[in-house]
Chains A and B, each alone.
Chain A
Amino acid sequence: MSHSDKPLDPPSLAERDALAREFQRWLPAEAVLHQPEQLRPYECDGLSAYRRLPLVVVLPDTVEQVQQVMRYCAAQGIPVVARGAGTGLSGGALPLSNGVLLSLTKFTRVLDIDPVNRTARVQPGVRNLAISEAVAALDLYYAPDPSSQIACTIGGNVAENAGGLHCLKYGLTVHNIIRLQVVTVDGELVTIGADSLDSPGYDLLALMTGSEGMLGIIVEVTVKLLAKPESAKLIMASFDHVEKAGDAVGAIIASGIVPGGLEMMDNPATRATEDFVHAGYDTDAAAILFCELDGVPEEIDDDLERVKQVLDQNGCTRIRIARDESERQLFWSGRKSAFPAVGRISPDYYCIDGTIPRKQIGFVLTRIAQLSEEYGLRVANVFHAGDGNLHPLILYDGNQPGEFERTEELGARILEACIEVGGTITGEHGVGVEKIDQMCVQFAPAELRQFHALKEAFDPHRLLNPGKAVPTLARCAEFRAMHVHGGELKFPELERF
């Protein structure tokens, strides 16, 4: 637990060259990047406010090479940060200036599809959507569908326990994988989970899921495949008040229906996405709710009537049902591209990821609106309403001095509001570097100590993604003191923009 958060001296060019030459002894020359301009693309993930150049980037394409990289780094005490597609939103793949960035983007092969047992064995760099595409002809699919699914990798999904629009009914990544191959910090290859529904011993599969590259390097994933629902219907409902929409979410769930997806956007988000995809959204509504029902057609028709009733009882002002498959896709397209759409109406945006009990949606949205006013920053809300997972997007301009710092502070206040109502600081994007201070609010020192002890069982010298996800107790003590004084920068050692 003695890991220091203090800035390190930037490495010299000579150090970089020497390390690169070492790797090139057993990796192809082009699989080792060390010139600053080659390193640039890896300086940040989706949380681009934090940037740092790694010592070198390695791009192995066999498991043996990954093992060799780990063996070498473990022996030399060099920290390693794994990276998939770099779409993470919490800085989990942010490089360390004294560390190696291990990119898994060359691992793009679908190794095996087993239609009878309904599983696919894939390499970690395979994109989320590519799995469903590879098995589409079998009428099967991989259920978790993050909005970033065209780009993000399955390895990154496992490392973050990614969710998606249909997780309410079909579960998160942790519910949809059965087996991993993992390279440990000292280069050993271990199998976690099994091809059967369970495996002997502790549930290490659950532990690896969402572990943000802190426990091992995932080099193979076996996912469950589900039968594509026979049919699906999407209802879009307008509300004149966000609080009413929030209550409708709770009421639908309480009625005993589990929709395939239950999502919400507030007015600013609806306007931004409408301009982007022209889906015909109701831009006058204070909020719109997307409720998808899937299953056998007979069942959908029954549920549809019940959902319409619940929506009416909760004061919905307008209902539209997608006429056909292409309109259903169109309605979803806006929700799926909400982040880039909001990106067009503001120079920068910052995505928050708190989860709260559903009954608190109305209350927390009102609180966010107050905070937004207090900080003079606009906020657009899109979220996985059925799961109570909020994604407030704070709109800001990074070129205005002090605006990013205000944005971060507003984000922190929103997360603290989530904790207050019994929620959590991250539903699916992970802690990374971004929410490390809020971990001090959510967890007591003894709990953090337990996390560190757990990590050391996997990684005794703390070489895997050190400094992320779980704060040191010293950092929390500092944070608490700083919280009182305010105004200081979260990561003074990091280059911003």
Chain B
Amino acid sequence: MAVELCEAVVQAAADGTAVQIQGGNSKAFYGRETAGRVLAVSGHSGVVDYEPSELVVTVRTGTAVSALEAALAREGQMLAFEPPRFGDAATVGGVVASGLSGPRRPYCGAVRDFVLGARIINGRGEHLRFGGQVMKNVAGYDVSRLMVGALGTLGVITEVSFKVLPVPVRDATLRMALPADLAIQRMNEWAARPLPISGTCHTNGELYVRLSGSESGVAAAVNRLGGDAVDDAAFWESLREQRLDFFTAQTPLWRVSVPPAVPPLAIEGEWLTEWGGAQRWLKSPLAVETIREQVAAAGGHAILFRGGDRSGPVFHPLPQPLLALHQRLKNAFDPGRLFNPGRLYEGV
């Protein structure tokens, strides 16, 4: 299958036609509109190598995320960055290309923190291998991590090695009624203390905290933090998959990324705050520029996550020298500009 993918790329290069790389198509809503012949990767599936005692799994990128997670769960392990799937069809390639992480991210790391190696097909149709299956590797530039969040614009990712972690023995969720400003303060105070926090979310005037670890460690932390213990594992799954009521509206949905302790921003709209304050969701009809100006002033950036104009600047505009660097990098990997043209930025 990898050979066929390479051939398809070589053909596209010869024809000078763009390709849209597609896994499960579960994240088609994300990023800018792109055009081109569909290059389906979902047939390139299966676990290549999994040794639980090494905490490493190598998997073809067409593999369904749910299938990978099931294989890990059988060994008591998990993808610690809890990637949102947004549908059963979601593939591992989409997880890496979109670079989206779930509730555990601020406490454990993002997709890129768990990627150890990758194989990619570049715009010349060459199948290349970077990084590896070991925990530490500084031979050559870190091309595998560069693929994370690049939305397929640098190459077709065909295989990825992830570091995996044991599933914690115990989880507990606490809930407490708090206004947004105090909730953000509280999340940041806790983060400065050695507590086994694995998720935080403020919505509808309530702060949810998840603790994960050993029986005794979690029990001790529950005592220290107080609040109501709720039996609500489903809450975190709904948050991760954006199935909470908050996410069902038709208004454009913004993802706002700011330094975690920034107080609530005075931008009109409805907010849901997670990641200890570092990731905030905003439903707002306001103009793109108005939102971005305020977020940038707070030291952050804003992505038009769902809805709105998908042909405009969906991602926060880059300063000129950085945009130029992005274009040169694109050129270094994909000189024919074949892969997902414009999905990330115009001209990239």
Interface, chain A (partner B; CB < 8 A): 114-119, 138-140, 160-161, 163, 167-168, 171-172, 174-175, 184, 188, 190-192, 194-204, 206-207, 209-211, 215, 227-230, 250-251, 253-254, 256-258, 295-296, 298-299, 301-303, 355-359, 384, 386-389, 422-431, 435, 439, 442-444, 446-447, 450-451, 453-458, 469-470
Contact = CB atoms under 8 A, between A and B. Distances in A.
Contact of B260 (A117, A355, A424, A444): A117
Given A188-B321, A453-B333, A455-B141, 13 more contacts: A115-B192, A118-B188, A174-B145, A197-B275, A206-B142, A253-B53, A254-B52, A298-B216, A388-B135, A389-B135, A424-B136, A428-B136, A444-B128
B12 interface: no
Nearest to A90: B138
Contact of A384 (B136, B188, B260): B136
B325 A424 contact: no
Contacts of A450: 122, 126, 128, 143, 332-333
A258 B165 contact: yes
Contacts of B44: none
B56 interface: yes
B301 to A, nearest CB: 5
A138 to B, nearest CB: 8
27 contacts: A116-B261, A138-B192, A163-B136, A196-B257, A196-B300, A197-B279, A201-B318, A203-B150, A206-B145, A227-B194, A258-B166, A298-B220, A299-B213, A299-B216, A299-B217, A301-B216, A302-B214, A302-B215, A302-B216, A384-B136, A388-B136, A425-B139, A428-B136, A446-B124, A450-B143, A453-B333, A470-B140
B113 interface: yes
Contact of B136 (A119, A230, A355): A355
Interface of B: 51-56, 76, 99, 105-106, 109-110, 112-113, 122, 124, 126, 128-130, 132-143, 145-146, 148-150, 154, 165-166, 169, 188, 191-196, 213-217, 219-221, 257-261, 275, 278-279, 299-301, 303, 315-319, 321-322, 325-326, 328-329, 331-333, 344-345
A199 B258 CA distance: 9
Contact of A197 (B76, B124, B257, B317): B257
A453 B138 contact: no
A207 B141 contact: yes
Contact of B142 (A168, A207, A425, A446): A207
Contact of A190 (B140, B259, B321): B321
B110 to A, nearest CB: 7
Contacts of B136: 163, 167, 172, 355, 384, 387-389, 424, 427-428
Top 10 A-B pairs, shortest CB-CB distance: A299-B217, A206-B145, A298-B216, A254-B53, A427-B136, A256-B166, A457-B328, A453-B332, A200-B316, A387-B135
Given A172-B136, A227-B194, A457-B332, A357 B260 contact: no
A422 B133 contact: yes
Contact of A296 (B148, B165, B220): B220
A439 B140 contact: yes
A384 B136 CA distance: 10
Contact of A359 (B51, B214, B325): B51
Contacts of A117: 188, 259-261
A200 B318 contact: yes
Nearest to B126: A446
B301 A427 contact: no
Contacts of B54: 250, 253, 357-359
Nearest to B169: A256
Contacts of A444: 128-129
A203 B109 contact: no
B259 to A, nearest CB: 5
B335 to A, nearest CB: 9
A72 to B, nearest CB: 19
Contacts of A386: 135
B134 A256 contact: no
Contacts of A387: 134-136
B143 A195 contact: no
A450 B121 CA distance: 11
A357 B166 contact: no
B260 A203 contact: no
A253 B54 CA distance: 8
A447 B133 contact: no
A252 B121 CA distance: 37
A317 to B, nearest CB: 23
A414 to B, nearest CB: 15
A388 B136 CA distance: 8
B192 A139 contact: yes
A446 B119 CA distance: 13
A188 B322 CA distance: 10
Contacts of B169: 256
Contact of A203 (B112, B128, B322): B112
A479 to B, nearest CB: 15
B345 A228 contact: no
Given A296-B196, A357-B56, A447 B134 contact: no
A215 B326 CA distance: 14
B315 A200 contact: yes
A295 B196 contact: yes
B150 A202 contact: yes
Contacts of A454: 141, 143, 329, 332-333
Contacts of B51: 357, 359
Contact of B138 (A190, A199, A430): A430
Contact of A356 (B134, B146, B299, B319): B134
Nearest to B132: A424
Contacts of A254: 52-53
B127 to A, nearest CB: 8
A171 B143 CA distance: 18
Contacts of B130: 447
A148 to B, nearest CB: 15
A140 B192 contact: yes
Given A254-B53, A298-B220, A196 B140 contact: no
B110 A442 contact: no
Contact of A230 (B132, B146, B194, B316): B194
